[in-house]
Amino acid sequence: MGCIGAHAIGLERGSDRLISLNEPLLYRDLKGIAGYVLDLLDIGRMRFCNPHALTKFFIINSLRQRTGARTFIEAGTNKGTTAARCARVFERVVTVELDADLARTSTRFLRNRSNVLVVCGDALSVIPRVIESQRLDRILVFLDAHAPLWGTANGGPPEPALDELNRLADYKDRICGVIVDDFRNFGAAPGFPSRSCLVSAAEAFCADGDFTFNVHLDQLIIERKRP
């Protein structure tokens, strides 16, 4: 794939039919701020359900600051909004998207971010390979690759987070934290594993005592303990 700025791998040349999704980041930022304000209002009214995208970024950035993570790995790029925000605060960003059109569109959107690598493929197999091949370290992983709730790619299980977490266990020494998005959908959305299975997987990940986990604002957050 001839890529335009952000590096891209795993893509073949093809149509850019989704290019209309490629709004400028400023527009996304304004939308993000509006969503964040709504989240604050909902928290104030005690009727918060799930965070908007900018709130999720603040959660990611807060974990980065607490753990000293330098590399952000995202399962599920979609339009590249979170990858773009994270590119401002992480040294390196690797984002994996199964849908080739979305991967192509987000590569264009992220073209000015020289620290971003967009990979087209299944996050379950791509993430371990990228950690090895790019020798990634001090990693924060954001698991947000799930089957279409509103028309994006499929090809694997509806929500592969459990398998992804199990695979990541082999790289614990390089990981500062893991966030699993959309906790509310586990045991609720069609085909998603149960919450008890997700919590068990998190407990297994933390079993050796180096990590702890919590559920906060619809995110399951696994965090390396500070010495």
Ligand X SMILES: C[S@@+](CC[C@H](N)C(=O)[O-])C[C@H]1O[C@@H](n2cnc3c(N)ncnc32)[C@H](O)[C@@H]1O
**CB count in 10 Å sphere of residue 203:** 10
Give the nearest distance from C-beta 222 to ligand X in angstroms.
17
CA distance 172 to 155: 27
Residue 82 or 212 having the CB closest to ligand X: 82
Residue 122 or 223 having the CB closest to ligand X: 122
Residue 171 or 206 having the CB closest to ligand X: 171
CA neighbor of 120 nearest in space, from 92, 151, 88, 155: 155
* Binding positions for ligand X, rule: CB under 6 A: 53, 74-76, 78, 81-82, 96-99, 102, 122-124, 144-147, 152-153, 156, 160
Give the nearest distance from C-beta 46 to ligand X in angstroms.
26
Give the nearest distance from C-beta 74 to ligand X in angstroms.
5
- The answer to whether 28 and 84 are in contact (CB under 8 A) is yes
Give the nearest distance from C-beta 58 to ligand X in angstroms.
13
Residue 125 or 200 having the CB closest to ligand X: 125
Give the nearest distance from C-beta 198 to ligand X in angstroms.
16
CA neighbor of 164 nearest in space, from 144, 137, 149, 183: 144
Q: Which amino acid is located at 184 in the chain? A: R
* Sheet (strand 211-216) strand order: 7-9, 116-120, 92-97, 71-75, 139-143, 175-180, 219-224, 211-216
CA distance 150 to 133: 33
Residue 39 or 122 having the CB closest to ligand X: 122
